[in-house]
Structure 1
């Protein structure tokens, strides 16, 4: 699983690393630095939202056919505790795949503790 290509775009610019994406699952690793913090000194919620969205998009992409592109149509993030500088891991899994919509779930862990939980619905666009 290690050595996958980067997530591309904004998530890659943030420093997200795809550790693996296969068979409806994905794992992203990320190192929180000072530049990712909000004025309160904790991990900015928008960074976490980007990471879970990216991980779930990678999970969906691992199940799509050529010409199908997942697009987030709904995203809910529950922030369970503040994130701090250091390494974190996002694990995503496709839960239900329909003809046009796919539901995913993601967990974020830092120091072995839950940081956030996310649920998203992706539409499959056809190119």
Structure 2
């Protein structure tokens, strides 16, 4: 991975910690391909993410989808750029128990500073558990509010 926003690359290469939200989700970057605009991540869903039935709460799955779609775009950006999510639509396909989950994200299409993204989450048995589509805007890093 030779491109991407400075903050993203620094976290991927261990020069900086993951953002607090990504760390809370137990995010681990497995692979990123700037040329293809794809990324593969792992997350650790803990017991503290569960609802009264013992399933991971949809809001945590949505956060994982968000942290999958955005970095797919980040991996393609110049060091002085960041992304700001404009919209995220999530679909929850099956309940999931705590454990290791996997996210795959990709840039579907980009026109100027607007990008259309997709993300999917699977469980350890490779069953699809949730999907999302997102729209994001590419912004100069100096305009990113705390690069969050």
Q: TM-score, normalised by structure 1?
A: 0.90
- Say which one has the larger Rg: 2
Q: Does 1:107 align with 2:82?
A: no
> Alpha-carbon deviation of 1:40?
2.3
Q: Give the match for residue 46 of structure 2.
A: 33
User: Could you tell me how far apart the structure 2 residues matched to 1:7 and 1:118 are?
Assistant: 22
Check the 8 A contact 1:28/1:51 in 2, yes or no: no
The whole-number CA distance in structure 1 between the counterparts of 2:27 and 2:49 is: 12
Aligned pairs for 1:72-111 within 5 A? 72-110=85-123, 111=125
The runs of 4+ residues in structure 1 deviating greater than 2 Å are: 4-7
RMSD over equivalenced CA pairs, Å? 1.8
Gaps of 5+ in 2: 2-11, 143-148
Q: TM-score, normalised by structure 2?
A: 0.78
Is 2:41 the partner of 1:17? Answer: no
Q: Are the equivalent residues in 1 in contact too, given 2:83–2:138 (CA < 8 A)?
A: yes
The answer as to whether partners of 2:25 and 2:45 remain within 8 angstroms in 1 is: no
For 2:79 and 2:21, locate their aligned partners in 1 and report how far apart those are by CA, in whole Å: 23
Following superposition, the deviation at residue 7 of structure 1 comes to: 4.1
Structure with greater helix share of residues: 2
Alignment of 1:37-52 (within 5 A): 37-52=50-65
Structure 1: tracts of 5 or more residues without a match: none
